[in-house]
Amino acid sequence: MITVAPLFLLVVAVSFTTSLPQQAVPRATAVYANVYSEVDQSGYNFKFTDSLTNLSANYFEDTMDSAIITGMWVFYENVNYNTQNQDKVYWAAGIDYFFNFPEEYRNVISSMRFVGHPDILNADYWTLFDMTLYQGDSVSGTEDATSLGGMEGRAASMALIGNANWTVFTFSYGAPASILRLDLS
């Protein structure tokens, strides 16, 4: 059982950059996760272009051994991004990045989630999760947010994509939590 930390104890912050220009790219071709039932891109495979709360719908539950991805993807041992049962989490980010899952993560993945801007590869984008290690519910955005809606007071981990610097507040103008982009100009 993993204890959920309060907002100001963000446990993970990840960012990655690429040399790709920030231009609109159709998501179906820009962001994907091609997953395989065996290591080294062997066995049978399925190419996903969006998050999936239950891989059994694609006959890929507890089957994955390797993958090639573009963007940031998070893989969970249980359905619904480990919301009901927090357990193993594995994540990776890159452009056409290939990897074999470490042995203890093979044949256990049951859901997977893309993290980042849905249409623009590597655009400045923040995502807050209500559980540690990118598990559970999430809210995200590309701009400053003076309040966090349903995530107020619940955020436990965070992922940052792009090059922007962000400041996360526990309190702001009466709202329990907010996130602002630092203006460095």
Binding site for Ca ion (CB under 5 A): 62, 77, 108, 110
Instruction: Closer to Ca ion by CB, 110 or 135: give it.
Output: 110
Instruction: Closer to Ca ion by CB, 66 or 122: give it.
Output: 66
The residue at minimum Cβ distance from Ca ion is 110
Distances from the Cα of 35 to the Cαs of 62, 68, 81, 99, in angstroms? 12, 7, 17, 10
Instruction: Closer to Ca ion by CB, 64 or 92: give it.
Output: 64
Q: Please name the amino acid found at residue 9.
A: L
Is residue 47 within 8 Å of 41, Cβ to Cβ? Answer: no
Instruction: Closer to Ca ion by CB, 108 or 133: give it.
Output: 108
Alpha-carbon span 142 to 161, nearest angstrom: 10
Instruction: Closer to Ca ion by CB, 55 or 168: give it.
Output: 55
Instruction: Closer to Ca ion by CB, 17 or 84: give it.
Output: 84
Q: Which two tokens stand for residue 9?
A: 């104890």
Tell me how far, at minimum, the Cβ of 87 lies from Ca ion, in Å.
Answer: 8
Tell me how far, at minimum, the Cβ of 60 lies from Ca ion, in Å.
Answer: 11
Tell me how far, at minimum, the Cβ of 178 lies from Ca ion, in Å.
Answer: 35
Tell me how far, at minimum, the Cβ of 77 lies from Ca ion, in Å.
Answer: 5
Tell me how far, at minimum, the Cβ of 135 lies from Ca ion, in Å.
Answer: 14
78-113 exposure pattern, b = at least 16 Cβ within 10 A, e = fewer: bbbbbbeebebbbbbbeeebeeebeeebbebbbbbb
The total of other beta-carbon atoms located within 10 Å of residue 139's CB is 18
Tell me how far, at minimum, the Cβ of 6 lies from Ca ion, in Å.
Answer: 29
